[in-house]
Amino acid sequence: MKKAIMLAAAALLGSPAAAQQAPPPGIATPVLPDTPQVYDTAEQHGIEVTVLAQGFARPFAMEFLPNGDMLITERGVGLRMLRGATGDNPVLEPVAIAGVPEASPDVAQFGVQDIALHPDFAENGWIYFTFNAPAAATGEEQPQRPQGMFRLLRGRWDGGQVTDVETLLEADSASYAGGSRVHVDATGMVWVSTGAPFGPEAQDLSNVYGKVLRLNADGSIPADNPFVGQVGANPAIYTYGHRDQHGLTVHPETGQAWSVEHGPNGGDEANLIEPGGNYGWPVYSFGREYDGSDAAALPFGPDTVEPRVVWLPSIAPSGLLFYTGDQFPAWQGNLFIGSARWGEINHTGSLQRVVFNEDFGELRREALLQPLHHRVRDVVQGPDGNIYVLSDGPTHAVLRISPAELD
């Protein structure tokens, strides 16, 4: 009898139902320290990491106002302010900023995602948002794949609230409500990234999913967009064939856009965005499916743009920053990428740093902040030249990286 019970238990543990109930692999996360911590890093030896704020809802993005205050998007909730973020005693405002469109907090993917300011923000107050609106129910929804309608919104910052919100772009159909980003470059051109991790949408030029989009500041279409005038193509599209893009920026010197996207299981990419380029998904991929099988037969094809950086295993890349400040001279020109986890292991996030040559060929890379075991969701350069990091779980926090005073 005892042997039969043991065999039955073993069979149960090996069953699919038991496997689904097992907790995902992960590492215990230490409590964030109350005092600044000093770490050694390659090339820029001695950095000080300070926790500025924590205790807000699940964040996705942050952006500095000209006066040093910081705006933080909370997925499924709205927008918060961290006053005096560059100072010694930042204060997180307890109430969300008024005027930001709301969505159900029951699904974190709905509502405001990313945020960007117009380069002439001090004069015009324009602030841009990417937004997932809940789609009408069809009865075929999957809980892990909520369906939403993507939108690009623009509002006006007015005395600590957002007014005059308007829709500049709205998708014609619903899709997976994944991550999205918006970046306004120095010329006022608006760059937007969307995802299409499931299905063939990324290769379909009639929709905006799985694309990098390019618009004028008022939402109109630039005349030199690569698919303007092509029958059946959305003219806002600049590139296509992207899987799940969670980072977007524009190089401050070249003016070229860059994005990072999640592969399915490995095969994460950093891409230099070329007009009209096809980046392959889902026909080509460096990654594997979550059961270990190949996601695609080949990593890239004759008519696709190869990534500039590939991560195997996955780092779950997020926010992007080309550093240009004077606080870290040895890091000038480096690309910083948020990482949620490494190799499908929870609580192993970091801040990735990639060094390029003059032709954007990768020279070396480094992982920062690994001892914190946090998911890094966004990274920005502050007006003080320091680097600011937004972590998303298990403790949501804003961190400042500054030079350490070494003996």
CB 399 within 8 A of CB 50: yes
Which among 254, 253, 252, 258 has a CA at the least distance from the CA of 238? 258
Give the C-alpha distances (Å, rounded to integers) separating 167 from 66, 150, 170, 325, 385: 25, 10, 7, 34, 33
Residue 19 lies in a domain: no
Is 11 within the bounds of a domain? Answer: no
CB of 125 within 8 A of CB of 156?
yes
User: Cis ω on the peptide bond leading into residue 313 (within 30° of 0)?
Assistant: yes
Q: Is residue 17 part of a domain?
A: no
Q: Cα dist. 299→118, 171, 178, 193, 229 in Å? A: 37, 29, 23, 21, 31
Bridge partners (DSSP) listed for residue 94: none
pLDDT value for 17: 43
- pLDDT at residue number 9: 36
User: Is 8 domain-assigned?
Assistant: no
How does pLDDT run along the chain (407 residues), one tens digit per residue?
434 333 333 333 344 444 455 677 888 888 999 999 999 999 999 999 999 999 888 899 999 999 999 999 998 789 999 999 999 999 999 999 999 988 776 777 889 999 999 999 999 999 999 999 988 876 666 777 889 999 999 999 998 999 999 999 999 999 998 999 999 999 999 999 999 999 999 999 999 999 999 999 999 999 999 999 999 999 999 999 999 999 999 999 999 999 999 999 999 999 999 999 999 999 999 999 989 999 999 999 999 999 999 999 999 999 999 999 999 999 999 999 999 999 999 999 999 999 999 999 999 999 999 999 999 999 999 999 999 999 987 789 999 999 998 76
Helix or strand or coil: residue 180?
A: coil
Query: What CATH number is given to the structural domain containing 223?
Result: 2.120.10.30
Domain assignment present for 30 = no
Owning domain of residue 70? 38-133+146-403
Residues 390 and 398 sit within 8 Å (Cβ to Cβ): yes
By C-alpha distance, which of 149, 150, 97, 106 is closest to 127? Answer: 97
The answer to whether residue 100 sits within a structural domain is: yes
Phi, psi at residue 134, to the nearest 5°? -60, 135
The overall pTM is greater than 0.85: yes
Q: Give pLDDT, residue 337.
A: 98
How many domains are there within the chain?
1
Residue 63 included in any domain? yes
- Residue 170 tokens, joined: 């709205």
Position 178 in a domain: yes
